């Protein structure tokens, strides 16, 4: 199972919005609405930010939103804050009943 | 508070074995599917294995199939990962993760496995 494709890095200024893409295939992202996004700060365990394409776990800011079109899912962060600087990973369920992650995107808040 | 505590990591020689454990608390462990996810140093996340709530359904990543065995003891609120025939490329932090309706939440703090001669 090949990893999902994410940009290696994105950046934005405080207050701006950024979008991170996550491209898979019809056997994973395109075939199921089971795409999730995770935030990871250095030295910390990942934290769920979005699940089932566009749902936020309790306690996650509504500045985080998700969407999907075909084989590509996206995470949008609006009103960027310094604390949003982290690595972000997408994940999808697959047709083999397994899970696959993206390679990760480093978000820099300028 | 929902909590997962990973343990059992350490230094092992190539070809060796190690058993990881995950202690769950703050929720009804037996109601949830569970997973192991790993992260090699400086690299991204890699899903390793999943086990259904009653242990009926078990799946592995191709990279560990035939070498790793996932199991659980619902009476002890514990998840395990038996790792045999370890390779240098298995070196990673291993996280225990709960599956809540297709959302991995929460994650354990991770336990480091280093495979080196």
Q: What percent of chain A has pLDDT over 70?
A: 99
B27 touches chain A (CB under 8 A): no
Restricting to B residues 36-95, those with a Cβ less than 8 Å away from any Cβ of A are: 37, 44-47, 50, 57, 59-62, 95
Contact B68, B81 (CB under 8 A): yes
Contact B59 A34 (CB under 8 A): no
The helix/strand/coil state of B25 is strand
Contacts of A52 in chain B (CB under 8 A): 101-103
Whether the CB-CB separation of B11 and B90 falls below 8 Å is answered with: no
* Whether residue A7 has a cis bond before it, omega within 30° of 0: no
Q: How far is A30 from chain B (nearest CA, A)?
A: 16
> What pLDDT, on the 0 to 100 scale, is given for residue A2?
84
A95: contact with B, CB 8 A cutoff: no
Please give the backbone phi and psi of residue B14, each rounded to the nearest 5 degrees, phi first. -55, 135
* Interface with chain B: mutation pick from A2, A97, A99, highest number of B CBs within 10 Å: A99
Asked if residues B71 and B80 have their Cβ atoms less than 8 Å apart, the reply is: yes
* Cα–Cα distance for residue pair B104/A49, rounded to 1 Å: 10
User: What is the percent of chain A with per-residue pLDDT over 90, rounded to a whole number?
Assistant: 98
**Environment class of B43 (CB within 10 Å of its CB; exposed 0-12, middle 13-18, buried 19+):** exposed
Residue A72 confidence class, pLDDT cut points 50, 70, 90:
very high
Asked if A45 lies within 8 A of B107 by C-beta distance, the reply is yes
> Is residue A1 predicted with pLDDT exceeding 90?
no
Give me B30's structure tokens. Answer: 């037996």
**Neighbouring residues of B104: CB distance < 8 A, sequence distance ≥ 6:** A36, A38, A46, A48, A91, B35, B37, B97, B98
Residue A82 contacts B, CB cutoff 8 Å? no
Q: Which of A1-5, A62-66, B21-25 has the lowest mean pLDDT?
A: A1-5
Q: State yes or no: pLDDT of B92 exceeds 90.
A: yes
């Amino acid at each position: 199972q090949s990893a999902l494709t994410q940009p290696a890095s994105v950046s934005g200024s405080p207050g701006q919005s950024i979008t991170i893409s996550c491209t898979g295939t019809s056997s994973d992202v395109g075939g199921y609405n089971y795409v999730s996004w995770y935030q990871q700060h250095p030295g910390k365990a990942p934290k769920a930010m979005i699940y089932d394409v566009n749902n936020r776990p309790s306690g996650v800011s509504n500045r985080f939103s998700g969407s999907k079109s075909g084989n590509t899912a996206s995470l949008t962060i609006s009103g960027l804050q310094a604390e949003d600087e982290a690595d972000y990973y997408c994940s999808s369920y697959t047709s083999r009943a397994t899970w696959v992650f993206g390679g990760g995107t480093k978000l820099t808040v300028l | 508070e929902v909590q997962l505590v990973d343990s059992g990591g350490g230094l092992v020689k190539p070809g060796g074995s190690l058993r990881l454990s995950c202690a769950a608390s703050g929720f009804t462990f037996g109601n949830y599917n569970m997973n192991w996810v790993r992260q090699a140093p400086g690299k991204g996340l890699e899903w390793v294995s999943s086990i259904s709530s009653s242990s009926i359904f078990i799946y592995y990543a191709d990279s560990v199939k035939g070498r790793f065995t996932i199991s659980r003891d619902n009476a002890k609120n514990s998840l395990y990962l038996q790792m045999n025939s370890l390779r240098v490329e298995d070196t990673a932090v291993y996280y225990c993760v709960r599956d809540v309706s297709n959302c991995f939440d929460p994650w354990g703090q991770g336990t480091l496995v280093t495979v080196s001669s």
